[in-house]
Structure 1
């Protein structure tokens, strides 16, 4: 009886997630949008500045696993004039930096520049962030100085764009958080436009970490052999933040494999992807009310371990709730052992320095209560519950809503792509950049086609849009915000 109930509820949950924009196609479209933005930014940077910088949209936005308006945008800026390695020497056009692991916890390293006399581009900036380690007799690049230097630069040009006000917040981990506010750019947009976390990072080629990850034992079919090979050949990054409670955290840098993890997310099946998004919803909407111990990044690692540790035949439409339980049980076990291994670097404990024993006991008990509650825990998620109700009462209406929502989102994505495509080197850092891009859109017939299509889908009368633009635009903005938040 319970097994059949779980299967039926799993099928309803799977279909409900489709209705609220969690299908693999939805995810791929959102990820494609941010990939295009990164490519456009890279193109503009390379044509404007001699410094070789790559932009990567990281986190949940870059993976496409959150809604368009749901979370902040994590942006990594990778300085290609530098290269961190385990061992090596300076090369033409590159400043080589040696990773120095002495006394650093797993997943962290110190950085030693090999040639401080180099006149390569960007070396002057790097020299501003170096310190001399009296204990070991090395010149080190300070992670805190590196991060603070870029935070200072961002504060200098905090209001570079006309109509947009930027607010730089105190740094959080390796990132510099920035909030963008509507300061006259449009009366129809919300006060807070969006939030971004900027991380300035250096590329890292390890001689051991990817090999160890590639060769470790795996009992099941995920990732595939080809993907394991591809990810093991990808570069890593060092980001400017040290481990909490480390005496040398100001000199230490965290090692991460952001692009490799994005490849792994893209290889999740439709069921596994929904499981990932379901876990994110649970920790954001339900579990965060009890504890903030588990971060979004931890959730991704938890899903990776559960997907790798179970046969692919377990991940079926009628088994998604059972797999959700496996994820929650995995978290509970990690809390018991006080060890949550990083998926790419298992020796790095993601629970290190997180919370106190009381918080961990409290979260374990809450997870136990959720597991004892059974499959109906999915009904705690308001959007999922509402979609399941419509599916039960009127399956045809739910199907039509799913198609309608996807069409609205695709039109919104196309509109953003059109706006981004108008960014160009002459206008990228002008005060009127956003306005110039918008004016460029007005000259494109596609802009009007998308606008009329959106009005039809949102059931907005064209005459009303012309005669009462203020009311109409605010209504559209509220509808889109509710739909994609």
Structure 2
């Protein structure tokens, strides 16, 4: 039965190859973003970990590169005070996992000065003031959510946390280094420790300094630990998330949810490191999941959930106690008595007849080989969807575009996975397309040398993007020709694209005849497949004017905080054809 559920979880959560692809793409996006910014950033949350569930979230952490947090005064010698402004921890009155932060040498007119409060003759940075300042600087539709500012990027919601970084591992987490013998491997431990930690703007609810305290965040370390899991451990974590979201917390409001995904992840971390589960494999999947569930049940019964890095930090202390604790324990114990089979039948992953038949008839055999789950076309659909979803950068001007292209040029020379290679190819095309429409060209004339040169460069960029992009990318060139009054050239391109888009093997919006697709491009490189058999929606940055006819749609989208306008390729094709033919 475990092996059968393993296969269904590979469908729901992803195979090891799928998850690895998602992580590769998110990693290269993260690296690119940091190269483009003065301040540093890191994506975290379940999407960064490799999940693509309906409930999967994305967190983005930003921290100013000009500030660093230290634990002891002597550590100030590690830094050049001219380039870094130092912040000192003061955890003398805080619970484990929390601290106060104060500026060692506050600058009179710095933005951070506005977030400071005066205590003990020092300038302490108030977490609540810092949150409020950052939230007021965001969109009007932004809302405070714990230490984060809630935002939307198109259809995707995400939490934005403005924080501070320390290059030094917290002394209170030194015990984690000492007990990390069996897992994770020593090189991962070393990498985690040398990267330090972060501080997010939220205090402990039971502390008198709650409004001013900061929580120590191990988001980077946790991401590396999730990456260090084998796929069976990751699927166990995934199954626990499904049980949490679709059974335990189902129907509850946000304020009534006592358990969260972080507790599930913590249980899996402890189970792996303490060797509670003798063997992580498909046939042991239900046992490992039930073991972690029992660990959480034990924690709820005792009212103690030890943080994985700082065990003295009880993560249940502020919300799981008294009547709420009793209610949650009864709820979890009832689920435990019902058994894992009942939980599986409740989950959508067991809704298919094959799995239900298996549960009711153990004589049915099951193969635990994830390689049999997806065809080549299936995997390509998932890859290209991921690339398309991530394949744009919000670059606001020509200079940023040029900077972006220089960074990509440098990255191409570094070791890249095939997934990252195709991601950089898509990003390059996207920037070239945007850049072509941002160059200062209003009318087409041979007499104005500057405009002629800009036009020539724009055409070159769009032809290059079309050569290395997907089939529908040629429509950007047709759109540019229409914009610059070259209607005959636009119509000629449209006729060529019509033929290409009409081929029966072309993947339209991630739908395809798998047999014909495989026959046409099976076994080819992803770059070749993208250029010969893939068409995705035309994605227009609403801050760039492409053609005047689309201005109302773009302005309407911007008013609703929607950064991009998506147009199906055939819609764009026939729209341009009608416009150009009537000129």
TM-score (norm 2): 0.65
Cα displacement (A) at 1:229: 2.6
| Secondary structure of the structure 2 residue equivalent to 1:419 | coil
SS at match of 2:158: strand
Paired residue secondary structure (2:83):
coil
| C-alpha distance in 2 between matches for 1:198 and 1:37 | 16
Which residue is equivalent to 1:444? 466
From 56, 59, 71, the counterpart of 1:74: 59
| Partners of 1:85 and 1:206 within 8 A in 2 | no
Secondary structure, counterpart of 2:352 in structure 1: helix
Change (3 A) 1:82 1:233: same
- SS at the partner of 1:128? helix
* Distance in 1 (alpha carbons) for counterparts of 2:158 and 2:400: 17
1:146–1:240 CA contact under 8 A, matched in 2: yes
Q: CA deviation at 1:282?
A: 0.8
Would the alpha carbon gap of residues 391 and 301 (structure 1) be closer, same or farther in structure 2, given more than 3 Å must change? same
* Greater relative contact order (CA < 8 Å, ≥ 6 in sequence): 1
Partner of 2:543: none
The answer to whether the Cα contact below 8 Å between 1:175 and 1:198 also exists between their aligned partners in 2 is yes
CA distance in 1, matches of 2:353, 2:221: 33
Equivalent in 235, 241, 246 of residue 274 of structure 1: 235
1:189 aligned residue: none
Call closer, same or farther: CA 1:426–1:212 in 2, change over 3 Å.
farther
2:507 to 443, 446, 453: 453
The partner residue of 2:197 within 218, 236, 243 is 236
What is the distance in 2 between the residues matched to 1:436 and 1:142? Answer: 41
The 3 A distance-change label for structure 1 pair 71 and 19 is: closer
- Measure, in 1, the Cα distance between the counterparts of 2:165 and 2:70: 9
Distance change in 2, residues 1:444/1:470 (3 Å): closer
Name the structure 1 match of 2:51: 65
Q: Hey, what does 2:209 align to over in structure 1? A: 248
In the alignment, the residues of structure 2 paired with residue 402 and residue 387 of structure 1 have an alpha-carbon distance, to the nearest angstrom, of 19
Which among 264, 273, 289 is matched to residue 308 of structure 1? 273
Question: Residue 382 of structure 1 is aligned with which of 348, 352, 376?
Answer: 348
**Is structure 2 residue 196 aligned with structure 1 residue 196?**
no
Of 8, 30, 39, which aligns to 1:53? 39
Q: 2:128 aligns with which of 144, 152, 173?
A: 144
Unaligned runs of 5+ residues in structure 1 are 1-8, 46-51, 159-166, 182-192, 430-434, 474-485
> Would the aligned equivalents of 2:169 and 2:193 in 1 still touch at CA under 8 Å?
no
**Alignment partner for residue 173 of structure 1, among 124, 133, 146?**
146
2:382 to 399, 409, 432: 409
**Does structure 1 conserve the Cα–Cα contact (< 8 Å) formed by 2:201 and 2:213?**
yes
Can you list the C-alpha shifts for 1:449-468, whole angstroms capped at 9, x where unaligned?
79933457444999xx99xx
5 Å matches for 1:82-481? 82-88=67-73, 89=76, 91-117=81-107, 124-133=110-119, 136-155=120-139, 167-169=141-143, 171-181=144-154, 193-204=155-166, 205-206=168-169, 208-216=171-179, 221-289=182-250, 292-310=257-275, 313-376=278-341, 377-386=343-352, 388-389=354-355, 402-403=374-375, 404-420=377-393, 423=395, 426=398, 439-440=433-434, 443-445=465-467, 446-448=469-471, 452-454=506-508, 457-459=511-513
Give how far 1:264 is off: 0.6
Q: Classify the secondary structure of the residue corresponding to 1:245.
A: coil
Number of corresponding residues: 419
Task: Assess, with a 3 A threshold, how the Cα gap between structure 1 residues 428 and 295 changes in structure 2: closer, same or farther.
Answer: farther
